[in-house]
Amino acid sequence: MKKLPIFTLGVEEEYQIIDPETRDLRSHLSKIVDGAKIILNEQVKAEMHQSVVEVGTNICKNIQEAECEIKSLRGHIVTLAEKQGLIVGGAGTHPFSKWQDQPITDDPRYHVIVDELQDAARSNLIFGMHCHVGIENREVGLQIMNQATYFLPHIFALSTNSPFWEGRKTGYKSYRTKVFDKFPRTGLPEYFDSVSAYDNFLETLVKTKCIDNPKKIWWDLRLHPFYDTIEFRICDMCLTVEETICIVAIIQAIVAKLYRLNSNNMSFNIYRIALIKENKFRASRYGIEGSMIDFGLQKEVETRILILELLDFIDDVVDELGSREKINYVHQILKNGTGAAKQLAVYNETNDLIKVVDFITSEFYKGL
């Protein structure tokens, strides 16, 4: 069997900056970002809200490098936050913080977005994890994007970590996606039959001033307009490094498996986006605890079973990628629940959202 190419990785995480007394989100007045840039250069960025810090790894050759980088980045931000008397957490939403109380970062980029999208932008107080997988051939990358869309709800279900919004139990395992749905050009990507069709679509949006640059396509999965990567954007920010790395390893393996199929003139079935949306909703609502649709069988199947089937699907590439150990952590997620289930368990036991925030921050610090 032909050897796989190296599927490089880049991981972006968005962290919550929290007041240790009130447990509310707190503006760090750019001090954490400015301090981090001395050490980490462009690996740390401010986000739209001043209580958010975004970090990104360098290009990593494998999952082990990615894990080291994420642990290092989390550790640096924790240290810098402590110098400001603040703490850090990882979840898709804050359990009770109100977006109306959170100042917007003073940056022309964010002024433009807020001016255009108004309260949809101001209320976008959410935190995600994005994963880039390197793919040099854009035509192959586009075909993989079309096919990988089917697996987005499976990946998303494992990452669900935002059951609360502004002090309310929402009934969703990921309410983050419901908040982000207010933005244009979000959600599942359309099907494109060629890179030229994809590029023409982007050019049309820029030419007609719908967007000023192609990065303002905020789909759950996109062929990146500037880098030779496929970018998976559907996941909630995870509680722990182990969860992030497990999901990133699964994403890399999906891309590698679909690449291998394409190299052998085979492909995975492409299903209607309207059908995949049904599974995305179920993942958002129930996480791994419900059922999704197996379109091949045309019946409901427990989400946990579908995830185990996904593991079987990617099994023949994980050893070559060196990621079996990291992917095996999925069994812990299936056994113990996602971040959302764990947050809800704390709340159901204590009836106290402060205790939920304490749990989120304590999980973030584990293993650093």
Domains of the chain: 9-365 (3.30.590.20)
Predicted local distance difference test score (pLDDT) of residue 327: 98
Angstrom distance (rounded) from CA 225 to CA 171: 36
How high is the mean pLDDT of the chain?
Answer: 93
**Beta partners for 46?**
53
Burial of 4 from C-beta contacts in 10 A (0-12 / 13-18 / 19+): middle
CA distances from 57 to 13, 65, 117, 206 (A): 9, 9, 29, 29
- Report percent pLDDT > 90 for the chain: 78
**Is the CB of residue 132 less than 8 Å from the CB of residue 69?**
no
User: Measuring CA to CA, which residue among 261, 252, 8, 14 is closest to residue 151?
Assistant: 252
What tens digit of pLDDT does each residue of 296-310 get?
889 999 999 999 999
What tens digit of pLDDT does each residue of 76-105 get?
999 999 999 999 999 999 999 998 888 887
Angstrom distance (rounded) from CA 309 to CA 299: 15
pLDDT band at 29 (very low <50, low <70, confident <90, very high): low
CA angle 134, 221, 117 (to 5 degrees): 125
Mean pLDDT of 22-39: 82
The total of other beta-carbon atoms located within 10 Å of residue 78's CB is: 18
Q: Evaluate the CA torsion angle 102, 107, 108, 109 in order and state its sign.
A: negative
CA distances from 319 to 249, 311, 331, 332, 349 (A): 11, 12, 17, 20, 41
What tens digit of pLDDT does each residue of 132-189 get?
999 989 999 999 999 999 999 999 999 999 999 999 999 999 999 999 998 889 999 9
pLDDT band at 367 (very low <50, low <70, confident <90, very high): confident
What tens digit of pLDDT does each residue of 202-224 get?
999 999 999 988 889 999 999 99
Burial of 308 from C-beta contacts in 10 A (0-12 / 13-18 / 19+): middle
Burial of 290 from C-beta contacts in 10 A (0-12 / 13-18 / 19+): middle
Q: What pTM does this model have?
A: 0.96
The pairing of strands 128-134 and 229-236 is: antiparallel
Predicted local distance difference test score (pLDDT) of residue 329: 98
The residue whose two tokens read 């069994």 is 331
Structure tokens at 243: 């969860």
